[in-house]
Amino acid sequence: TSFGFQEVPEEEKSKMVGNVFTSVASNYDVMNDLMSAGLHRLWKERLVSKLNPFPGMKHLDVAGGTGDVAFRILESINSVRRRALQDMSEDNLQEETQIYVCDINPNMLNVGKMRAQERGLGEDGSLVWVGGDAEALNFEDDSVDGYTIAFGIRNVTHIEKVLSEAHRVLKKGGRFLCLELSHVENPALKQLYDYYSFSVIPAIGELVAGDRNSYQYLVESIRKFPSQENFASMIAEAGFQKVEYENLVGGVVAIHSGLKF
């Protein structure tokens, strides 16, 4: 009250902060659903099914944002566990699963923590939220079984650094998986996609988020991102083996994968 402002009680304050985060999160989720017509859910499911998550695994999801990919990995592990529990005693399943969600933006992580709480996920400590930069990870060499990055690598400053960090922290035999907006080749589909991205996306951005420019930028950043083949070469240059990719919706998005031997 010393400056004539009304003191806001601690409890009230954290509720207000919480509301801001919730609205950021719900906006983010609504926009994802709107712009991809809900398809991002299927793409993330596909990413997780390629990972083949298992109980006891140490996994790192980079640019993990509000936890969308991490939650799916954990849910997949939980269902593997439930099935396995029917066949063996609980003692055999005591391995500690650990899914690290790493993001450079603490607000996204805070939203993620709240969402996890709401869903009752990770209460046993299996979800670990860490602030950090994909280009300089705070993880030991050879320390994780799997690495995912979904819609995160396109906007980093140095893609090569992100890839070499991914290679460094993975254990031998570990898999790198990247889900990213990519390039459509089929001419008819490309025409449709160009119309969608140059006309529809910025319009949705303006209508829903009141922000045309950011969505314009998003579309331009997709254009500038390396082609599927070039990105695959970059992954191989970082040291990964058996590099391959799968196009979804004709290349609107692609899932690249590589193994560390």
The dihedrals phi and psi of 194, each to the nearest 5 degrees, come to: -65, -45
Q: Report the distance separating Cα 127 and Cα 132, nearest Å.
A: 15
Q: Using CB under 6 A as the criterion, which residues of the chain lie in contact with ligand SAM when the complex forms?
A: 62-65, 68-69, 103-105, 108, 133-135, 150-152, 155-156
Residue in 66, 70, 260, 47 with CA at minimum distance from that of residue 165: 260
| Cβ atoms 247, 43 nearer than 8 A | no
Least separation in angstroms between CB 33 and ligand SAM: 11
Which CB sits closer to ligand SAM, 28 or 54? 28
Which CB sits closer to ligand SAM, 33 or 95? 33
Which CB sits closer to ligand SAM, 79 or 155? 155
Which CB sits closer to ligand SAM, 158 or 242? 158
Q: Report the distance separating Cα 154 and Cα 181, nearest Å.
A: 8
Which CB sits closer to ligand SAM, 92 or 155? 155
CB half-sphere exposure, 87, CA atoms < 13 A: 6
211 is in an annotated binding site: no
Least separation in angstroms between CB 151 and ligand SAM: 4
Q: Which residues pair with residue 100 across a beta bridge? A: 60, 128
With both helix axes pointing from N to C terminus, report the angle between 10-36 and 106-119 in degrees, rounded to the nearest 10. 90
Least separation in angstroms between CB 108 and ligand SAM: 4
Least separation in angstroms between CB 65 and ligand SAM: 3
Output the six-digit token pair for 185.
Answer: 């080749």
Output the six-digit token pair for 246.
Answer: 């799968």
Least separation in angstroms between CB 2 and ligand SAM: 36
Give me the residue whose beta carbon is nearest to ligand SAM.
65
Output the six-digit token pair for 193.
Answer: 């996609």
**Which three-class secondary structure state does DSSP give residue 95?**
coil
Output the six-digit token pair for 140.
Answer: 């030991």
Least separation in angstroms between CB 211 and ligand SAM: 14
Q: Report the distance separating Cα 211 and Cα 207, nearest Å.
A: 8
Which CB sits closer to ligand SAM, 84 or 139? 139
254 is in an annotated binding site: no
61 is in an annotated binding site: no
133 is in an annotated binding site: yes
Residue in 201, 180, 200 with CA at minimum distance from that of residue 249: 180
| Cβ atoms 141, 168 nearer than 8 A | yes
- Annotated binding residues, as ranges? 66, 103, 133-134
- Annotated binding residues for S-adenosyl-L-methionine, as ranges? 66, 103, 133-134
